Amino acid sequence: MTKMTADALAEACAKAMWDEDKASAGLGMAIAAVSPGHSEITMTITEAMVNGHGTCHGGYIFTLADSAFAFACNTHNQRTVAQHCSITFLAPGRLGDRLRAVAREASRTGRSGIYDIDIFNQDGVKIAIFRGHSRTVKGEFFPGIVVEG
């Protein structure tokens, strides 16, 4: 049995996921921060992400939020997937904007969790609010690891 701090375990889980996450990396996302039940993911809006209105297609903003959700809910060494997600768009994202999705765990009981994700532009303007419901599935990233304390 190996012991790790909760922060070290969260970081190790994020690295294990990131190494296999071709979608997030392919869209230019980067992990800015991760800790138990929390993550911050960034992404710059490129020309390929702009829709016919000249603003960021909502699907890319949803994807950024979904990635932040995934990294936050997988910080406890339990493989966890999305069960339900919703998003409300508040303001448009624009070409060149540097978006930051901040995910935080609102509730985690048994196999279910609820996570709130706020998406901001580089000026700190909140452009969307996302809520994700998670469900743990079989498997751990690091079998046999226990959290210290």
Predicted confidence (pLDDT) per residue in 73-118, tens digit: 999 999 999 999 999 999 999 999 999 999 999 999 999 999 999 9
> Residue 10's closest CA among 40, 30, 53, 49?
40
| Pairwise CA distance, residues 102 & 14, whole Å | 15
Model pTM score: 0.96
pLDDT of residue 46 exceeding 90: yes
| Pairwise CA distance, residues 51 & 10, whole Å | 35
Q: For residue 1, what pLDDT is reported?
A: 73
Q: Give the residue numbers spanning the domain of 55.
A: 2-147
Side-chain half-sphere CA neighbours of 83 within 13 A: 13
| Pairwise CA distance, residues 30 & 41, whole Å | 6
Q: Which two tokens stand for residue 17?
A: 């996921």
The bridge status of strand 80-89 relative to strand 30-35 is unpaired
Q: Which two tokens stand for residue 135?
A: 């469900």
Task: Give the position of tokens 């969260």.
Answer: 10
Kindly state the percentage of the chain with pLDDT values over 90. 96
Return the exposure string of 86-118: e unless at least 16 CB atoms fall within 10 Å of the residue's CB, then b.
ebebeebbeeebebbbbbebeebeeeebbbbbb
Q: How many domains does the chain have?
A: 1
Q: For residue 146, what pLDDT is reported?
A: 87
Q: What CATH number is given to the structural domain containing 45?
A: 3.10.129.10
Q: For residue 131, what pLDDT is reported?
A: 98
Average pLDDT of the residues of the chain: 97
Stretch 10-18: mean pLDDT? 97
**Contact 53/88 with Cβ under 8 angstroms?**
no
